[in-house]
């Protein structure tokens, strides 16, 4: 089926960004299904992926309603190309080893927990309602990923080495969490989006507390990655979409 083109108002663009980040993060986590180092983690990562998929679906449904052209959540997830995806770059990086996945999920949960807490006060009532559910789910994810971060950092020489490597690779991607462009500004102005600047102190406090417990230090990044908000992605997103969208592209409109 041909790629769809979505005419994005700032509001629609903003909701799509949140949906895209949740979906891509969910997809990367779901890749662990059957491959996690132990059965309990297989269950845990699949469960976190399922929560995020649920959040993505609610957000896409909301985006489709805002667009008002009768499109479905599936159209938005399966029929857009990489440059139309506006997810955070950190979500699309390949799953790496278990330490990489844990560090990524800790960073994302430490940001999204206070983010969704604030978004409960959004003037967009649907977004506020989604935030009310997401906030509770992400609190649980943070507890789980954070506990593993401490265990890995404070574990064996090998687990520590891998955790440090993951932290150093991923830290430059955290700048994007706080990036505000024209869309973001308009949404903050309208009371629809929380200002990520108000999320930062909580995020940093959580990360510093966990790192201290893990015996690790916060990396210093000379520069921060950017691009996701403009649809400029790493080479990895295209491959991810080729897998994720394959069925709908090969068998347009397939249902079961």
Partner 1 sequence: MSTLALDRLERAIEAVSAVPDPEIPVVSIADLGMVRAVRLAADGVVEVDLTPTYSGCPATRLIAQEVAAAVERAGCGEPRVNLVLSPAWTTDWITPEGRAALARYGIAPPAPRGQPEGPVLCPRCGSEETEEISAFGSTPCKALWRCRSCREPFDRFKCL
**Which residues contact partner 1 (rule: CB under 8 A)?**
40, 43-44, 46-48, 50-55, 57-58, 125-126, 128-130, 132-137, 140, 143-144
Give least dist CB 111 to partner 1, A.
18
Alpha-carbon gap, residue 105 to 7, rounded angstroms: 31
With residue 200 as reference, give the H or E element that holds it: helix 196-214
Q: Are 49 and 137 in contact (CB under 8 A)?
A: no
Q: How far is the CB of 29 from partner 1 (least distance, A)?
A: 12
Nearer to partner 1, 57 or 233 (CB): 57
Q: Of 77 and 130, which has the nearer Cβ to partner 1?
A: 130
The length of the chain, given as a count of residues: 256
Nearest Cα residue to 98 out of 36, 33, 167, 160: 36
Nearest CB to partner 1, comparing residues 116 and 173:
116
Which is closer to partner 1, CB of 107 or CB of 131? 131
Please state the closest distance from residue 154 (CB atom) to partner 1, in A: 19
Structure tokens at 166: 């993951």
Nearest distance in Å: CB 59, partner 1? 10
Write down the H helix ranges in 31-68. 39-67
Q: How far is the CB of 74 from partner 1 (least distance, A)?
A: 14
Measured from the CB atom, the residue of 138 and 211 that comes closer to partner 1 is 138
Question: Is the CB of 12 or the CB of 48 nearer to partner 1?
Answer: 48
Burial 73-109 (b: 16+ CB within 10 A, else e): bebbbbbbebebbbbbbbbbbebbebbbbbbbbbbbb
Residue 185 C-beta: closest distance to partner 1, Å? 26
Of the candidates 179, 180, 170, 157, the residue with the CA atom closest to the CA atom of residue 218: 170
Calculated CA dihedral for residues 82, 85, 89, 93, nearest 10 degrees: -50
Identify the helix (H) or strand (E) that includes residue 105.
Answer: helix 98-119
């Amino acid at each position: 089926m041909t790629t769809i083109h979505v005419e994005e108002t700032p509001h629609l663009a903003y909701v799509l960004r949140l949906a895209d980040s949740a979906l891509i993060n969910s997809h990367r986590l779901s890749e662990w299904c059957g491959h996690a180092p132990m059965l309990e983690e297989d269950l845990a990562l699949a469960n976190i992926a399922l929560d995020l998929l649920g959040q993505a679906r609610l957000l896409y449904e909301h985006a489709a309603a805002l667009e008002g052209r009768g499109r479905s959540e599936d159209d938005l997830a399966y029929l857009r190309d990489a440059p139309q995806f506006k997810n955070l770059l950190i979500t699309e990086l390949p799953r790496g080893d278990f330490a990489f996945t844990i560090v990524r999920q800790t960073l994302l949960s430490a940001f999204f927990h206070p983010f969704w807490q604030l978004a409960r006060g959004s003037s967009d009532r649907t977004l506020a309602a989604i935030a009310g559910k997401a906030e509770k789910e992400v609190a649980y994810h943070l507890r789980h990923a954070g506990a593993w971060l401490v265990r890995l950092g404070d574990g064996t020489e090998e687990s520590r080495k891998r955790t440090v490597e993951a932290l150093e690779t991923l830290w430059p991607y955290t700048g994007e969490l706080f990036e505000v462009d024209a869309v973001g500004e308009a949404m903050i102005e309208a009371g629809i989006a929380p200002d990520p600047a108000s999320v930062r102190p909580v995020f940093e406090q959580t990360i510093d507390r966990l790192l201290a417990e893990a015996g690790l230090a916060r990396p210093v990044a000379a520069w921060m990655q950017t691009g996701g908000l403009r649809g400029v992605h790493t080479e990895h997103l295209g491959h991810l979409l080729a897998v994720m969208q394959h069925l709908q592209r090969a068998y347009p409109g397939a249902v079961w």
